Structure 1
Amino acid sequence: MVGRFFINYYYSPINANDCHYNFGNFILLFAFITVLFRPYSMILTVCEKFNLPDIQSVKPLVSGLINSSYKISLNNGNSYFLQRINTGIFKNPAALQKNYQLIQQHLTFNGAMKLPELVKTATGNLLYDNHGEVWRCFEFVKNTYSPTAVHTPEKAYEVAHCFGSFTAVLQSFDSTKLEVIIPHFHDLDFRYQQFKTALQNAPTERIVQAKDLIQRIEDYASLVKKFMIINGDKKAFPLHIMHHDCKISNILFDVDTNAIRCPIDLDTTQAGFFFSDMGDMVRTIVSSLDENDTRFSELAIRTDFLKAVTEGYMDAMAPFLTAEERSNIPYAGSIMTYMQAMRFLTDHLNGNIYYKTTYPEQNKDRTINQLRLLDLLQEHITGKKYTVA
């Protein structure tokens, strides 16, 4: 049994619907390297703790940038999602599970989306701590898939409506019951202060090389002032329970009908401002190029996708937004794109210690990409070529 498991673990082909990202040979190589550093005996031990017997195969799911995830397939046809939580980022794994249960219960009570079920250990716990490595397990929902990109305005509308509906259903839930998973997650002033600290501590050579980008970030500081206005008026800009990681790969679709089943990956779901989810979708869906693309001059905003995202989100959330929030929706994409540009540049100045990179200047290039997108979004809002102050 162990010999067959070893073969399946190291050589089972990775299906695109399983790993959610299909980057061809690079992904296969990355997955192979990943499993080399995860002894199969460890996986067997963890599976045993979650009462998962008679394992047919284990497939690394290489889409995540934070946690390490695996699809566990049993000989009885059932599959499970096993995940080692990165406790360097998520310092309170129990809070993740508590929040998930509370949200799941609320959605079920209101007859809304059905989330994947949590799987308990043989002793009835939601987590297994193996000498400091914390693991959890979910059902792997049958006949579902998660695409990696939005290819049509119609799909963009569906994605935005899904995440908007998620927050809309949670309007009746007491957000104070949720644990704060990552403090200051989409706090633009906090990110700006991190940027300033990086400037103070970065090597002179890095600062000189990035001086033009540093100036661009400073030129857009009016967006920090806009955030401060938002943050200072809780009546006009109340907190909502936001998903905070709105990308199409965090939605399960039905294999047969292509209909949306539910959002997934609720780790960063917590109270936040109106611009977070809408802005993140504008940033990731509306841009014609991925944030890692270096063809900066070719980057454009797809206005039909922008219209679809806005309509999809507002069709779900408009009744729950204040007049001030609705009037500022056009700036959601700009705020989140500026924040991400700033975070990329901050990480570059800090020596690439947060985001995974494949070459030394990647965070710098990501900053250029996001600032180009920000320019285009501002031009779209004003109707004229945008020049930062």
Structure 2
Amino acid sequence: MLVIKGLPLEIPPDVELPPGLSLARQAAAHAIENSPTSSPLQKFDILLHFVNELLKSGSESTDSLLEENVCIVVINMAYYYQQVTERLIKKAYTEDSKEAWGNSGLYNKKSIGLLRYLIDSGIANTTKYLGLVETFTKCWTLSQQLSIVMLSLSKLKSRICGNNTGQESKKSSSNRYDRLLEFQESDLKDLATSSLLYARLCIGCRDSCTELTSTSVGAACHPLTQYLDTLTFILLSLDRYKNDECGASIGMLEAATECLSHGLITSKQLKLIQESTKLKTKMALKLIELKSESSNLRSKFKIFKKNDFAGKPELHPLLRSTLEDFIMPLMMLLHYRYVKTNDKVFFQPIIRDREELVKGWPHGKTPDVTGTSWAFDGEQLRELDTLGGSEYY
């Protein structure tokens, strides 16, 4: 889920195309340029008709211009499948929909498969678009890996704040923050049981993101890398806290805050996180004992919804929403808990050396991602193996 500029690609002007191809090209160009109300799947179908005509024409003669057109159209088709994927991921995350999680994975694999078709068929290999095809294949493979991170984050959020299904998703965020404030010590220990695995997934995504830094989408990788580093430090802080390493846990959260400060949050949000240990009254385990303090925290949480990020490096809107509605409030609560526990029980020095903190990172975990298979049968480009069911992995 990188914010990629320049997509969809512009379809080249009509250069003496046969009548059938010319009409199909006009429809495809219109769908891309002048159909804001059309859905991604409607645009996909129009482009599919055009690419079928191109491939049928190309089977009768070898024409580099036709091959370039095929590359452009198929890249755009994969892009529209990606748009469907991202909408489904948003639905899955906000509504905790298992079906949406499964379908998002299927559409993502379709988009990767389309790009693989251009390489495996040799169509892209003799055009100037080969580099773009390879880059977007890596981008959307990364998107699939990020989706699994989002799924993990959704599970974490559900364990802390409850599910966002039905009427729950329509309620104000204050109810979720009430549950955050009621989180007990045993809950933190339980939460840490899966935090190491989730951190490894984040590190694996970060490794994949690093491979794109020297490509045409390299500029979009910086905010994503900072986001993944933030998540990794938070998740590993839970693991360290489980092992009674409070000094390291606090250092991890401070490192996460430092990552956020590199263009992902406003100065006001940064100040709120840094002041989360300065609340006047003691944070107890039950909401009835936290009335004044929870009101104080919730008033801070609500500010996260009202900030303008104009001019900041672009993080994908869905990833940004996870910062605002869950990750930053969680950081504030954890920081408060870690510091109070350390001050009363462990008295450990805070580890602030980033190199020392990163040295303890585990190896990343990168799930295998493969696209579906596509082929042109002489009449149409079609998918050969549709995956049964809607399981996400």
TM-score using structure 1 length = 0.25
TM-score, normalised to structure 2, is: 0.25
Structure with max Cα Rg: 2
Richer in strand (by share): 1
Question: Higher helix proportion, which one?
Answer: 2
